[in-house]
Amino acid sequence: NAIPPTAGSDNPKVGAEALTQIVREMLEGVFEARIRETSETLQARCVDC
């Protein structure tokens, strides 16, 4: 699903949509990692209880 760097270079709207998609995918990855970390931390704390 990679978007070529030149995608939308002639059309600012398409370029903005491509950038939005890239940012969305990056944020999803970050949030998933944070949720996974938090879940692991909580599970570790519960084991200590």
pLDDT digits (tens, 9 = 90+) for 7-48: 545 778 889 999 999 999 999 999 999 999 999 999 888 876
- Output the DSSP codes for 17-28: HHHHHHHHHHHH
The pTM of the full predicted model, rounded to 2 decimals, is 0.59
**Structural domain includes residue 1:** no
**Structural domain includes residue 4:** no
**Structural domain includes residue 3:** no
Q: Which residue has the tokens 């931390």?
A: 41
**Structural domain includes residue 5:** no
Domain count, the chain: 1
Q: Is a pLDDT exceeding 70 seen at residue 6?
A: no
**Given 3-state DSSP classes, what are the helix, strand and coil percentages for the chain, each rounded to the nearest 5?**
75, 0, 25
> Is the separation of the CB atoms in 35 and 27 below 8 Å?
no
**Structural domain includes residue 33:** yes
Domain that holds residue 34: 11-49
Sorting pLDDT into bands at 50, 70 and 90, what band is 2? low
**Structural domain includes residue 29:** yes
